[in-house]
Amino acid sequence: MWWSDPGRRAALRTLVALAAAPGVGLAGCGFSLRQPPKMAFSRIALQGFAARSPLAEQFRRELSQQVQVMGTPDKADVVLQALDDVRERSVVASTSAAQVRELQLRLKFNFRAHTPAGRELIPRAELLLTRDLSYSETFALSKEQEEAELYREMQGDVVAQVLRRLAAVRV
């Protein structure tokens, strides 16, 4: 048998040891998992989001890992105010029989950050993300799921960009 050979057995033990400790090989090269940006404040309030907004829920989830998310802006250090949260879907290409072939998905988020006293920390900013989606009537259900997944991905990108901007804020 191939595993009875002493040289192969030693090589197999080495492979098993490396597989058991995957971080060992990467420790010396400076690799580390991406960490969320560190916030310079301890309390934040979210304002202006629609009720049961998926974007607001993701902000709460991400921010609560580092800071306390307050219900009212009175006791917060920073107020993140959503001015606009729009999801758009438009037809980009269609056939001569008026069947949709390609869609463009857009997620637009306008926001600003300020202190409860009104001092502006981040002036009004707009994030606009777009994704193209091919479409076929025969695969309508799967394309609907793909569209939902693309919106979730764009929403995650928006949250990450806003968190990086909030990390640069000094109260």
Over residues 144-155, the pLDDT tens digits come to 999 999 999 999
Model pLDDT, residue 138: 84
Mean pLDDT across 107-119: 96
Model pLDDT, residue 70: 94
Model pLDDT, residue 139: 86
Nearest CA-CA partner of 56 in 167, 162, 168: 162
User: pLDDT-based confidence at 94, cuts 50/70/90?
Assistant: confident
User: pLDDT-based confidence at 6, cuts 50/70/90?
Assistant: low
- 116 has pLDDT over 80: yes
Q: Report domain extents, the chain.
A: 1-33, 37-167
- 110 has pLDDT over 60: yes
Class at the top of the CATH hierarchy for domain 37-167: alpha beta
25-44 residue pLDDT tens: 555 688 888 777 889 999 99
Distance CA 41, CA 50 (A): 25
pTM (2 decimals)?
0.77
Q: How far is CA 47 from the centre of its chain?
A: 19
14-24 residue pLDDT tens: 766 666 665 55
